[in-house]
Amino acid sequence: MTEIAELTDQRTIRLPADVAARFRPADRFVVWADGDTLHLKRITPPRVTDQVEQAPVEEPMSMEEISKLVHEVRRQRKRE
């Protein structure tokens, strides 16, 4: 089914409701134009737990790094 998106006066794109329902308000997208075709691809950042698992064991994380990870986990849980 084809639907129509609209460019608003504020230069934002208003997606059809059923398309917008697939995403969360905090989702981010990479956008590129190819002629008169506009492409949107949702950016899926790596989960924080993956970052922790990949951290080198020999180098302990600083308190600042730990704090940033904790805040990121909280942001991810809030979005879910």
User: For 28-52, how does the pLDDT look when each residue is reduced to its tens digit (9 = 90+)?
Assistant: 899 999 999 999 999 887 666 666 6
**Domain assignment of residue 1, yes or no:** no
Q: What is the pLDDT of residue 43?
A: 87
Q: Is pTM, for the whole model, over 0.85?
A: no
Are residues 13 and 33 part of one domain?
yes
Q: What is the pLDDT of residue 9?
A: 96
Q: pLDDT category, 80, cuts 50, 70, 90?
A: low
Are residues 57 and 32 part of one domain?
no
Are residues 53 and 37 part of one domain?
no
Average pLDDT, the chain: 84
Q: What is the pLDDT of residue 46?
A: 66
The encoded tokens of residue 56 equal: 């080198």
Are residues 35 and 56 part of one domain?
no
